[in-house]
Each structure stands twice: as C-alpha cells, then as structure tokens.
Chain A
Amino acid sequence: MDVLVCVKRVPVTGGRISLTDDEQDIDTRYLGFTVSPHEECAVEEAVRLVEAHGGSSTVLTLGPAVAEEQLRDAMSMGANRAVLIEAEGPGWDGGATAAAIARAIGDAGVEYDLLLFGNESADAGGYQVGIRVAHLLDLPCVTGVKHLEIRDGKAVARREGPGGFEIYEVPLPAVITVKEGINLPRYPSIPGRLRAKKAPVERLHLDAPQPGLEKIRLRLPQGRDKQVEILGDGAAGVERAVEVLRQIGVMPP
C-alpha cells in the first residue's frame, strides 16, 4: 500500500516560550526544530504499515525550505520519498495549507491508499488540515486515532470517545489523523540517517495566499508559576496525599 504522511516543522520549545520583537513568531534563536509528537507517530505508523503490507511511504510538508530537515528526519525513520511544498509567509492557515496539499497530491497523480496526518499541529493547533484535505479529495476521514489496523481494504481505527473507545471502519483510500500514543516512534538509526541524507526531495513552490484566519500577533499568557504545596514530611504527608488522589479522581473505587 502507498501511504502519504504529512508533517509540519515546529520549534522544540524550551522551559519558557519567548517571542520575537514583532510578536509574529516564537523566538527560535536557541531552539531546534522537529514535528509535533502526533506527526512523529504518524510517520512511524506509515513506516510500520509499509513494513507490514508492502508499498511505499511518502512524507510531505508545506513550509520553508529548511523544513527539508524534517523530511529527512522522517526518511531516516524509514519513509521512502519526500515532497517539500516550499511556502513562506504568514498566509498559510488550515484552509490554504489543505488546498495546497490536495493540489500537490492531485498533480503528482499518485493514488495513495492512506493519508496520515497528526490530529493537530503542535504550534497552530487548528485541527483543520487533515479533514479539509479529505473533503477536497472526497475521502473519508477519521481523526484522533490511537489504534489503526488495515484489513480487507478497510481501515479499522480506534479513538477515545466520551464514554470509552469508538471504533470506525472506513474503506480505503482514507484520511486518518493520529494522536500520540498510537505507537512508540522509533529513533532514527545511523544507517537511516545516512541514507536519508542522500535521498532526493521533490520540491514545489507556492505563493502565499490570503488567509481566512489571519494572525495579528502572538502573546504570552499571564504567568502562573507553579507553587508547590508541601503535604508534609515523611509518612506525615501521606494523609493529605490520599486526599489529593481522591480529588483528582484516581483513587481506586
């Protein structure tokens, strides 16, 4: 089966986020970059599915040219191909991103059996892209998936619902957005990294669109530093600890 997995380059944030002077972005001077944990799991899932069912996995991102780093990271985990939609500028809200991805998929003429996304990006948290791509390609879409099986041309997906787990069965091709916990992503191996370094990256260029959700500025929420509550010394603290566990609702019934 052929799997597409879409990822987004985001900074690895530190103990405290600080902003650039123009308040448009996170100050990334001291930060490295990664993809959101959901997407890391999506890449892992794609690689595992291809290991199990054959076919190939393609990783795609829309972002600045340097997002090539995240594509190569995914390839060092085992993704076979990489597509970079080079897109700078602030206009890329969920709608525009989804449109660009859907177009790239259409233009490439590849019939993917499965399109994997993270449930939401770590930075913008818009919850839009996977679902909108599904609509543009007229595919079914299950979100928030924490367990996925492919059998008989169908995706059987499990996610957490209000009362327990919800099971969905959708025919392939389909869009699935996954959540961290679906798997434990592997660390890239050194041979993987060395292969990924030399692998080709397909590139497309797009101009910034007019956004529907238009960022004005970023702000830091009012600080609320944690104040530790000392429950007591030694065994004397146990009684209040039990009280805390009860409040949180984790005491055994």
Chain B
Amino acid sequence: MNALPDRASVVVIGAGIVGNSVAYHLARLGWRDIVQLDKGPLPNPGGSTGHASNFIFLVDHSKEMTEITLDSVRQYKELGVFTESGGIEVARTPERMEELKRRMASAKSWGIEPAELLTPSEVKELVPFIDETVILGGFSCPGIGVVDSLRAGTLMREEAERLGAITINAKTEVLGIDVEDGRVRGVRTDAGDIRTDVIAVCCGVWSPRIGRMAGATIPLTPAVHQMIDVGPVPLFEKTVGEIEYPIVRDVDTNMYERQHGSEFEIGSYAHRPILIEPDGIPSIEQAAQSPTELPFTKDDFDPQMEAALELFPDIVGDERVGVKYAVNGLISLTPDGMPIVGETPEVRGLWSVAAIWVKEGPGFGRTVAEWMTDGCPEIDPHASDAARFYDHQRTKRHILARSAEGYNKTYGIVHPMEQWESNRDVRLSPFNGRERDLGAVFYETAGWERPFWYGSNEGLLDEYGDRVMPREAEWEARWWSPIINAEHLAMRDRVAMVDLSAFAILDIAGPAALDFTQRMAVKQMDVPVGRVVYTPLLNPAGGVKADLTIMRLSDERFRVVTGGFSGMADRKWFVSHLPEDGSAQLDDQTSAWCTLGLWGPKARDVLGAATGDDVSNEGFPFATCRWIEVDTLNVLASRISYVGELGWELYVPMEQGGRLWDVLWEAGRPHGVVPVGIGVYATTARLEKCYRAHGNELELEFDLVEAGMAGPAVKDEDFIGRDAYLKQRAEEPAAVLCTLTVDDPTSASGVKQRYMLGREPILTRNGEPLVDAKGRRSYVTSAGSGPSVGKHILMAYLPPDRAKAGEELAVEYFGERYPVTVAAVGSTPLFDPSNERLKR
C-alpha cells in the first residue's frame, strides 16, 4: 500500500476503465502528482468495468459517440488488448432492415470501413450456428472486436507510474470533499486527507454519491443489465482464444450474443427497466459477487431465453449447455442517454467523467484530460457536457423517468425527431394556453414545450397545395407535418408569431461587463447601447463553442440570448471565465422573460398598429434593440431574424406574455398573422437562409473560416481563441460549408420521394466518399425542406475542390444514392441572397 500523499495536482477517484484512462492521459499530457483512489481492490475494484461484456461496436448515429469509440479502439489496439472479431447487427423485421441501411449510411458518414449489408446466408457463413431463417439480413463491421478492459486499465496505470506521475491507492474510501467558495479544496479519505484543486469523479454508478459530497448533482441512475453465460459449447471446443466468431446483436429483441472462450454470452436490454438507488448499491462486503453484480432475477430474463433459443438453437437449445453465470449487472443510465463529462456547473474543479461504457472509456479519458489541461479537447464532447442539464433535469424523478424510458431504446430504432413521453409539461411559456387552443403540436427542448406546428393552420395546406412538399415515405413523415411548410410559406407571404420563450437569457453586468464580453466574443462588443451583435464564441483552439446574440442594454449591461438546448453549457462557459474580483457578474434571466418573434413582410404593419413608437427602418434599424410601448406593455424589441424576414424578437416579463400575444394577435388579424412553430424557425426558414446551427454546423471540430463565418476583419481586442482564429484565417480551409439541394428525390423504386433528415454521407455521383485534408468525411450537417425555393436543402462541409456552385454530388439515403448539387458556397443564402427582406 502506498502512503497517501497529502497534496495532489488532481485526484482521480475511481480505477475502472474511465479513471484509469483519465489518469493515464493526464500523465501523458504532463500532469504530475496525480493521486488515484478506489475503494475497491485492483485490478478489479468491483465497478461496472469488472463485469462488462467488453465488446465494441463501432457505428452510432451520434458522431460524437462514434468518434469517441473509434479513438478508444485506437487506444485499445495500442495497448495490445483488442481482439478483432467482427460484429453483425441482424434484422428480424423489414423496419430493422431499413434501420440497418441507415446504419450503413452512418458508417459512411463517420468513415467506418469496411462495413456492409449481408443477406441471411452471408450472415450464416460468418456465424454458422445462427438460424438464418429467423433474420432478413445483417449489418456487418469486421473491425468490431472485444477488449480486455481490466488489462487495459492495469497497463494505463503502469504507464502513469512509469512516468512518475501518479500515486495509486486502492482500498481507499473517499469520505468527503472539501469545497470553499464553490471550488474544490481537498478530498477526505479513510486513509487521510489530500489537498487538491481538481478532482475527476470516475466512479461509474457511484458518481452521484461522490458528486453529492461536494454539493454537485451527477444525474445518472444505476440500472440493471442482465447477462448470462452458457457453456461449455461443444461447437467452441476447438476454437482458440477468447473469440473467433463475430458478435451478434439481435437488435430487434434488444439482445446481444457472443462467444467467450468455450462459453456463449447472452446479454439483454429488453427486460423492464430495473433502476437502483445510488445508495442502494451494496458495499463490497455486502455483495455476494461484486457491488455491481446483483442477484440475477430469472423471471425478467425468461423471454430473452426464448429469443436466444430462436436465433441460436444449436447452442442455446443444447441440453448439455448450461447456464453457468447469470448476473444483474449495474450500468449507468442518464436522462438523455448521453454520458456526463466535464466540470460540474456547481463546483469549480470537480469534474464528472461518468455514464461511460467500456467502448468509450479511453476516448473520453483523453478528451477529458485534454479539456482539463488547456480547455481544448480534440473531439467535441458537447452532447456529453456535464453542464448541459437544467435544474429540473437533475431531479430524481426526471432522471428515473427518462432513464427508464430510454433503457429499452438501447438498441431501438430511434427517429432523430423522436420525442420523450415521460415527464413532459415542465416548462410552459405564458403563451401555452393560447397555443393549445390553436392545436399546437408540442416538441420538447430542455423541458420547454414548444409548438412545432399548429393544427389551426391546416387550412393553409389547401392554400399552398404541392408547394408544401408532401412526404410519402413514413420515416420522414414521422414527427413531421406538411403544415410546417405551409406555415413557412405563410410567414414569407404575410406575418408570423413564433414562441421563442425557450431562449436562455443571461445578463452580464458590472464595471467590467464590456471587457468581459469583449474577451468572450469574436465580434466587436464595444458598440453603442442598443446594438445587437450576433457572434460566435471560440475555445482557445479556435473551435466554435457557441453562437448567440448579445444586446448592449447599457454601458455596463449586456444581455446574452442563446438557444434553450445549449443554454446551460453556454452559461457555464461564461461563468467559468468571469473575473474573480466580481467586477462583472452573470445573472440568469431565463425564467424572467418570455420572447415572441414577429416576422414577415407585414411585421412592421402589425407592430406599428400596436405601438405608437417609431418602428420604421430608419427609426428602428436592423441589428438594434430598444424599449417600446406596446399597448400597456414595456417591450424590449430586438430587430434581428433567424428566419430571413423583417421583424423583431419581443421580450416582456413572463407574466405579461399573454397580453403581448393577444395584442399582436388582434393587430395581426387584418394582416393575416399566423402562429408559426419551431419546425419553420429551426429548420426550413433557417436552411433557406443558410444560417448555421450549433451542434450541427458549428462545433469545436470546425472553425469559422470553414463555416464561412469569418468576417472581413478581426477586432484588435483580445478574445478567447483569437490567436488560433488568426492562424485559421491565414490558412486555406480544409473544408467549406456549402448548401446543397436535392436534384431529384425520387427513389429508385420510382414510387416515393425521399427526403433526408441529416447525418447522411455526401458522396460523388459514383458513390465515392469525400474526405477533406484533415481526414474528415463530408456528411449532411442539417437537412430540411426549402418550400420557398422548392427544393430539399442539405448543408455539408465539402473539401475545397468540391465546394463550387453547380458541383454535382450525391447523398446516400436508405441504401440509395440521390443526385445533389452545390447551390451555395459559404454563407450566401439560397433565399433572398441580398437579404433585402431583412433590411427594408
């Protein structure tokens, strides 16, 4: 046992695959005086790593997760603990066969090769013990394999020790975390106290417990994943080593099966969600096996046995093959299914690296270590950011409800627009009652219920006929309505009211407000009071951290308005950089203000009818904001637009929103005002204007030059990422963001028009993938209808030699290629290219 140091540069709590990876990468990045603790013994402290099935499938529809996984595989291979076995997802239903085509597309988008679709008999050739009559086909990736995650962890710890960077103390229990002024100061353990400013909580299912010691919520829940081992399998008698046959995911039954030496392992995500309280995990002493291997509940698994018997009768149906090991293994589930990675918003220096599977461990270890070192992870972890959760998303009830709902989607066919059913109606704008009356169909963002379209607008369908680009294929008609496109056209013709109350509103005030805002934003913030600035924020490496608008309300007050989805992460980014002396402070005003967008050619007529103030182009120019009186309300009006039309964002206190809605509704009636949903705001109108969206076009991996957002000049004042940005500007971009249109959406069957939804691979007309100088594939970052241009619109980063208007390319969708053409390069909009509508 090592003596416990009394000081550390960082304390890594946990010695599963995650803790080991974090410690290893910190050591490699030059950190010294690292202390790693685990309550359990080494090399298997008893967490989820110890009972993991240890296989790695490569393709996920999420780019972030795929990149992390690929990075993990690279690392496992370096460590010599990866055994390539191949893996096949098999389909039992026609719907699943379609999904496998979609996975094939994702494989191409993320550059995973080889990957192919197999017929049942081709599957049988690779997996001779499968009953191929049960399946319709398979999706095979030969690069799939298994790892020895415990061995990997040992090698990582050894390397960190070899570097002289680390002291490892197993069997050391963390009893408390000292926090002063919102910052980590130390760790208390049963072997003594350690002073430190940085802690990485890599405690898997125990993370909530450790986080709570510091006053932070790590919103995950332990949940049961059932697994059995049967054997000895006569068929495997002559095989050598751990695995010779591809792993099979029987995704329609939410199961997987794999060879493990002489045994056959059957795992399931099919049973009822069995969620365990974080305090309900037994201690090492209380557990019969390990704390994360709970007693097997047989009844839950019986249907899975039947399913396994169907698919593998030769093995599972063999009376000589017995169930040798069966466990309810604990894994971590989160309310949105993504990991929880990054510094916690509650406590500076307290990092969460949790809800991570073996396939992601080393990748997230590296990402977090980079993030801790200089704030610049190579892979953008924004979808996993620990700071993303709103308060209500940290409640026990929400965590349990969503985790339970998400559990059976582990292998599900999940539509990109699919909505959660549980725990809805949490955040309601003051317009909600009126929206309900208008037949709004609500989609959720960050707990907010936002109308996606309005049933009351059904009549517009007749008005616009085929211009609404109706969708025949069920997949893209799911979670969609042609009313969205009708609303779009009506907005472009008349005027629309859009509920934007989900905006996160962050006021920055104080004597240093200007200096601070200036330092955060790429654009010049030393602007007159009443100006509105749309600006990206960069990280030090010049990756795009956020894009948002900032209003200058007074000399010492700026109002940041950003999307509800990224609001919490953006808030964390600002808060982490606030001056220590309190000379600028952030005040979250999100719940104080509601927002109503008023846009369209008639917007000025409507607003003019409701206010006595000057709303003319001269009196109220574009990109300015000011207080106006509307009826009896004081309204903060901001003349900007994300839909490419004349109009305003109108802000009033929450409780006055209803009145604002009614006044504008009345004033708008003579002008044919329509309520318009987020389907228009976030997709159709945005795409026609080629506006970028964070998380789609904008992420850390792309820079402003590539995104076509580099302005003519760079301000003199320093800001985060400036040096990197200057360097990017001096170089030729490796990719250029372009807007493409689908030439002909007719599928080869000739029956249906098909409309892509995003993330599909962009190929040459011959089907070759496009790869840029940095090795990145071209894929669809956003997709949607362009009713005013009459085309289906796609955005994609293309290599510069392909980024030419008129360039003929293709997109793959459900196994077919569709011809597309580059319609615009950079930020030139397809609709109203000179932006006349905005500025008249």
Contact = CB atoms under 8 A, between A and B. Distances in A.
Direct A–B contact in complex, judged by CB atoms less than 8 Å apart: yes
Interface string A154-193: 0000000000000000000000000000000011111111
A189 B318 contact: yes
A14 interface: yes
A13 B288 contact: yes
B316 interface: yes
A30 B295 contact: yes
A226 interface: no
A194 interface: yes
B436 interface: no
A187 B302 contact: no
Interface string A183-226: 00011111111100100000000000000000000000000000
Contact of A15 (B285, B294, B317, B323): B285
A31 B291 CA distance: 11
B678 interface: no
B296 A32 contact: yes
Contacts of A189: 230, 318-323
B288 A30 contact: yes
A18 interface: yes
Given A14-B285, A189-B319, A190-B309, A69 B230 contact: no
Nearest to B231: A187
Interface residues of A, number: 24
Contacts of A31: 288, 295
B2 interface: no
B394 to A, nearest CB: 27
Given A14-B286, A30-B286, A30-B288, A190 B317 contact: yes
Contacts of A187: 230, 322-324
A193 B296 contact: no
B840 interface: no
Nearest to B308: A190
A194 B305 contact: yes
Contact of A16 (B285, B295, B305, B323): B285
B425 interface: no
B284 interface: yes
B323 A194 contact: no
A67 to B, nearest CB: 14
B319 A191 contact: yes
B295 A193 contact: no
A191 B295 CA distance: 21
A69 B296 CA distance: 12
A195 to B, nearest CB: 10
A30 B289 CA distance: 10
B306 interface: yes
A110 B564 CA distance: 73
A221 B551 CA distance: 71
A190 B303 CA distance: 11
B256 to A, nearest CB: 16
Interface in A38-57: none
Interface in B366-399: none
Q: Interface centre among A13, A69, A191, by most B CB within 10 Å?
A: A191
B632 to A, nearest CB: 62
Nearest to A193: B305
Interface in B321-337: 321-324
Contact of A197 (B282, B302, B309): B302
Contacts of B294: 30, 32
A12 interface: yes
A30 B282 contact: yes
B298 interface: yes
B235 interface: no
B322 A32 contact: no
B323 A193 contact: yes
A32 B282 CA distance: 13
Nearest to A194: B305
A33 B294 CA distance: 11
Nearest to B304: A190
B428 interface: no
A193 B301 CA distance: 11
A188 B288 contact: no
Interface residues of B, number: 26
A55 B694 CA distance: 73
A224 to B, nearest CB: 15
B287 interface: yes
A152 B265 CA distance: 44
Contacts of B286: 14-16, 18, 27, 29-30
A221 to B, nearest CB: 15
A191 B287 CA distance: 30
Interface string B252-291: 0000000000000000000000000000001011111100
Given A190-B317, A191-B319, A30 B305 contact: no
Nearest to B328: A32
Nearest to B302: A197
Contact of B288 (A12, A69, A191): A12
Contacts of A14: 282, 285-289
B288 A190 contact: no
Nearest to B315: A190
Given A189-B319, A189-B321, A190-B316, A29 B306 contact: no
B825 to A, nearest CB: 60
Q: Interface centre among A12, A27, A31, A69, by most B CB within 10 Å?
A: A31
Contacts of A72: 298
Nearest to B306: A194
B322 A188 contact: yes
B284 A190 contact: no
A30 B46 CA distance: 15
B268 to A, nearest CB: 13
A190 B302 CA distance: 9
Contacts of B296: 32
Contacts of B322: 186-189
B288 A32 contact: yes
Contacts of B323: 187-190, 193
A101 to B, nearest CB: 26
Contacts of A186: 322
A80 B285 CA distance: 37
Interface in A3-31: 12-16, 18, 27, 29-31
Nearest to A198: B302
Interface string B450-487: 00000000000000000000000000000000000000
A76 B324 CA distance: 13
B295 A32 contact: yes
Contacts of B282: 14, 29-30
Q: Interface centre among B282, B286, B302, B321, by most A CB within 10 Å?
A: B286
Contacts of A69: 298
Contacts of A12: 288, 295
Given A189-B318, A190-B230, A190-B309, A15 B295 contact: no
Contacts of A197: 302
Contacts of B285: 14-16, 18
Interface string B552-581: 000000000000000000000000000000
A190 B312 CA distance: 11
A12 B328 CA distance: 14
Contacts of B308: 190
Contacts of B287: 14-15, 30
Interface of B: 230, 282, 284-289, 294-296, 298, 302, 305-306, 308-309, 316-324
Which 8 residue pairs of A and B lie closest in terms of their CB atoms, listed nearest first? A187-B322, A32-B295, A30-B282, A16-B285, A14-B288, A12-B288, A189-B319, A15-B285
Given A30-B282, A31-B288, A189-B230, 10 more contacts: A12-B288, A14-B287, A32-B295, A187-B324, A189-B321, A190-B230, A190-B308, A190-B321, A191-B317, A197-B302
28 contacts: A14-B287, A15-B284, A15-B286, A16-B286, A18-B286, A27-B286, A29-B282, A30-B286, A30-B288, A30-B295, A31-B288, A31-B295, A32-B288, A32-B294, A32-B295, A187-B323, A188-B322, A189-B319, A189-B320, A190-B230, A190-B305, A190-B323, A192-B319, A193-B298, A193-B323, A194-B302, A194-B309, A197-B302
